[in-house]
Amino acid sequence: MPTAAPSPLPPRPPRGTLHLPDVRHVALSAPLHWLALGWRDLWRIGWPSLLHGLVLAAFGALLAWAARGQFWLLAGAFSGFMVVAPVLATSLYALSRALEHGEPANMRTIFKTWTRWQYSRFAAQGGYWALVRFGLLLSLAGTGWVLTSAALITALAPAPVHTPADFVNHVVLARQGYLFELWLFMGGLMAAPLFASSVVAMPLLLDRRVDVMQAVLTSWQAVLTNPAALALWAALIMGLTLLGMATALLGLIVVVPWLGHASWHAYRALVDTRALPERLPPEGGR
């Protein structure tokens, strides 16, 4: 019995053409809806999602132990973590996508996301390696902020900063100079363009056959189209992350997967991907 011929892949844009998807306008309250959808996904999936939070909370605890007595390094490292978080949440996006498609969202989905995509037939066409390239760029940016933060605090603090109390006394509450304001300004100066570049870039790279430049420009377009809503979204991400850190990192077990799933719904609400070819999850080897 003859088998049906496989359906052809969607045509790729001509070389040199940069096609960007349409970006939707969303209400100012949309981020609250994304959080509600992310919360639903978190508890529908259960422990595979919570495992992400547990791993990252354990990594944070290891980081805190390694940087003990050097709080200036810890402050930079934890803020740098915010930069690379969209990369670490890749398999959380894949889990939410599986739920959306009515497919099993389980450990097999996570395993395929992190191990077998590079063998898919799209890899040779710029495929999932775009995720790796973008992840490396964000990691370099995070490392740059850690070094910048360390240099600022070490060089300009009026006394050595070794503990959280030292950071509060000699940086936050310093009576002379503006070190804390400078530290916040430098962090914001780096974080704002990185947020604008990554707010929907990683989910888009996972979901559709686009390159890094298309994903980053689409992300910027989403921010410029919805500045107020995405400013609120950035504030919610930062606030919930700080809350997770303030609970001796235990809150990150829930906060990390919650925000990861919510970010998938932010991407789906903001970007009209109907004109872009889908990047199908790999099912096996080559």
Per-residue model confidence as pLDDT tens digits over 114-150: 776 554 444 444 455 666 677 677 767 767 777 777 7
Q: How many domains does the chain have?
A: 1
* pTM (predicted TM-score): 0.80
Does residue 224 sit within a domain?
yes
Q: Is 68 inside a domain boundary?
A: yes
Answer yes or no: is 102 within a domain. Answer: yes
- Residue at 280 is within a domain: no
pLDDT tens for residues 162-220? Answer: 777 777 787 878 777 788 888 888 877 777 888 898 899 989 988 988 888 899 999 99
Residue 164 within any structural domain of the chain = yes
What is the amino acid identity at position 191? A
Domain coverage including residue 131: 24-272
Q: How far is residue 50's CA from residue 39's CA, in Å, rounded to a whole number? A: 12
**Does residue 4 belong to any structural domain of this protein?**
no
pLDDT at 258 over 70: yes
* The two structure tokens encoding residue 2: 């003859």
Q: 285 in a domain, yes or no?
A: no
